[in-house]
Each structure stands twice: as structure tokens, then as C-alpha cells.
Structure 1
Amino acid sequence: MDVLNRRVAAIVAHPDDETLGCGGTLHRFARLGADCRVVLALRRADRRIGDGWPALVGQFRAACARLGATPELLPDALPDITADRDIEALHEAILPAVEWSDIVLTHAPGDSHQAHRAVSRAVEIATRPFRRRRTVALFEVASSTDQAWSNGFAPNFHVLLDAGDVAAKLDAIALYAGEQAPGRRPADVEVLLRHRGCQVGAEHAEAFMLARHFA
């Protein structure tokens, strides 16, 4: 995929989703000449976050900088725990980012987290081809995509990563100190990159489901 001068919007539910799902791809696309933005569509509202949201936003900004992407927080963002109850409002909130973009990267629709599913549905509505034609690729997020009752993530598009892309992704995920858990730690993330790479005869890759594409 030629990404020179293309506008790439990664639309995500939570800080660290951008790194887990498509961090290496963002870094690769940015160094190949794409204008990459990460749109944080929601705000964390679960009890675990407490008063730690400002620190998590700071980590999000630092991770985006390491990946070569511009962070974008939506004003008056919906809380993640109720986002699936107002898809229309979420759709309206992300629409400017979709309008700006040529390529959209976002969550797979079958994730176990309801906020991931809500963002995916809002992007699906915003990219209906009779309204606007955008290439849309759906990514996997460790401990969400793989923990649904029925894991329907079937990649048909892989982005091959070089050593610099891998290093950027691992550095970015390490910035999220409070979000580390089995499957989401830098070493675990690198294992998944190797696994996806092995599937296509490469050292490292990120996997996507290509949902929409227009030549």
C-alpha cells in the first residue's frame, strides 16, 4: 500500500489501544510519508482509573510521539463504560477524523470490550461507501480481541515491520507502566509480532482485517 502523503487516522477507545493494535504500522506509515493521527474517541471511566486519567493521557501523548503520530483527544468525549448506549453521538464525535482521513485503522467488531465494539460500529457507520469511501483496516488488541466468546478475527492484510518499527512499538507500550499485564507487556507484544510475521514469511508483522478498500 502506497502511503506517501496519505492521511491515516487510528480511531481508538483507550490509551494504549493504538500501540497494541497498530503501533508498528503507524510508525512505518509515518516514516514512509503518511500524516498519521491517533484519535482517542472515549475517556476511561471505570473505577480502576480513579484520578489517574491525566497521567494516562500523558502516556498516550508520549506513545504517539514515539510512533510518529499526532495525538487527538475529542472534547467532551463519552465515557467508555456507556459508549455502546449512544453510538450516534460517538459517530458524530469521530466523523471529523473520518472526513479528514484517507485510511482508517480501528478496532475489530468482535472484541470482548464493549467500548472497542462501540468505536468499531461508529467507524462502520461513518464509512458507509454511499456516504464516503475510505480504506478501513481493523486491528487486534491483546486481551480483548482474543478473549471474546467467538474469536472472529481473521486477518487478510499484513503490514511487515522492520527493526525500527518493532522498537518504536515496544518503546511505546513500555510507556504505559500502569497498563502492563500478561499478554500486553513488551515481551508479549513482540511474541505476537513474530507470530504474525511467521504467518506471512517475515520476521515481524501486524495483522488486520481489511474491511473496506477502494482503488
Structure 2
Amino acid sequence: MGLEHFGRVLVIAPHPDDEILGCGGTMARLTGAGHEVHVAIVTLGREPAFPAEGVARVQDEARRAHALIGVHATHRLDLPAAALDTVAAAELNGALINLVNDVNPDTLLIPFLGDVHQDHQLTFLASMVAARPRSPKAPARILAYETLSETNWYAAPTTPAFVPNVFIDIQSTLERKLEAFSLFETQVKAFPDERSLLTIEALARLRGSAVFLRAAEAFMAIRMIER
């Protein structure tokens, strides 16, 4: 079965590269099949914590990675990176509500609530507010993706554990995912760091073999509306 039911897709990423780590292979499959895939980057690094030159470089890396994947549009909310806890909930929620209303996605791919980074947790919560089923236009499906170096570094089972129940075959797009992440030259690390290309491939192989596929990305189904 294909992914036709995904329709228009919005991937919400707290920071540039989360979307490639979490669901780059799925995004590539979707764009290859003609789906309109949007990416929202919630935060932007600000001085003095994030030098402007480095921020500009990461933005350029993201542009090139998204072009390779075939992203329809990248939306930047430019809220403060590593400081979403300083943003009023109404402001964060409002930014994502406006975005979801503008894009009108059928499917949302969002970070996992149990990620160690607070930006990820707050992005999840705001995404759920933005996706409240208050009209027929509400996203029909919401899936949470896993992000290496974030999803398994908290304190499960004391904190929410990522227990995948959706697996998407990315055998045909794994190499493109790896190539896209390699464009984030500032973020790629040497193995055994979790942000190494070897680890990204190993996770895809592990998730795939769990369901007798050669490579997969894993998700948790948060809400599915069958219309």
C-alpha cells in the first residue's frame, strides 16, 4: 500500500535537521510520489548564544537538504532556539495555529513529547493545540517521529517512552535521507555519536527489520481520523 492517504503533509521541526533525522526518508517518498510536503522550522538561533555566521550556515544547509528531498515550502517561525520556554504559550500556539491554518495539511509529522530537549516538548504541545479537531479541516492524522540524540536521551519510563506503532518503508529513499543529512555539515558527527551517518542508517535498518523491511522510519500514531 502506498502513502496516498497522507495527502498534503506538514512536518514540524523544532530546529533545522530534526525533520531529516526524524522523517527524511518518508518525506522523500512522499515528494517522489507527488505529495506536497511542507516543513516548519520553529526556532532560530540568536546571538550571543548562537553566532550569526553559524546560524546563517545552518540555514543554508537546511535549504540545500530540503531541495534535495523535494520540499514544497519551508516555513520559518524564528522563535528563540533553546529558549522556547521563555516564549508565552499563547505566542507559540498562535504561530503554529496560523501555520496549520495556512498550510491546511492532511497529515502532521511532529516531534515526540518525551524528547529530552524542551524545545521539542513544547513544539509537540503547541502542535497538538494547533491540530485540535474543531472543524473538518483538522489534520486527519498526526504522527510523532523519533529524533536521534533527543528521543532516547530523556528518562523513559519515568518520562514518556517512544513505543513505535507505525513503520514506513524507506528502503528506496534511505540513501537520499543520508545524503540530505550529510549536507548539514555542522551537525554531522563521527560514529559512535548518535548524529553520525552510520547510526542513522543503523536505526533505519533496525526499525525496518522489526517489521521485516530492509529500512524504515518509526512513528507513534497520536491521532487518526478516518473520514
Range class of TM-score, shorter chain: over 0.9
Quote the Cα distance in structure 1 between the aligned partners of 2:200 and 2:3: 26
Larger mean CA deviation between 151-160 and 140-149 belongs to: 151-160
| CA distance 1:122–1:147, shift in 2 (3 Å) | same
Conservation of the 8 A alpha-carbon contact between 2:38 and 2:75: no
What residue is the counterpart of 2:84 in the other structure? 83
Tell me which of 104, 107, 114 is aligned to 1:110.
Answer: 114
Quote the Cα distance in structure 1 between the aligned partners of 2:203 and 2:46: 29
Q: CA deviation at 1:133?
A: 2.7
| CA distance 1:174–1:48, shift in 2 (3 Å) | farther
Structure 1 length as normaliser, TM-score? Answer: 0.92
Aligned to 2:83, the other structure's residue is in SS state helix
Tell me which of 38, 55, 58 is aligned to 1:56.
Answer: 58
Q: Percent identical across equivalent pairs?
A: 29
Larger mean CA deviation between 77-86 and 105-114 belongs to: 77-86
| CA distance 1:5–1:127, shift in 2 (3 Å) | closer
Aligned to 1:178, the other structure's residue is in SS state coil
Conservation of the 8 A alpha-carbon contact between 1:113 and 1:144: yes
Aligned to 1:37, the other structure's residue is in SS state strand
What residue is the counterpart of 2:146 in the other structure? 140
List gaps (5 residues or longer) in structure 2.
none
Q: CA deviation at 1:166?
A: 0.5
Conservation of the 8 A alpha-carbon contact between 2:6 and 2:107: no
List gaps (5 residues or longer) in structure 1.
none
Aligned to 1:145, the other structure's residue is in SS state coil
What residue is the counterpart of 1:18 in the other structure? 19
Q: CA deviation at 1:33?
A: 1.9
Structure 2 length as normaliser, TM-score? Answer: 0.87
Quote the Cα distance in structure 2 between the aligned partners of 1:80 and 1:21: 18
Over the residues paired in the alignment, what is the CA RMSD in angstroms?
Answer: 1.8
Q: Which has the higher helix share?
A: 1
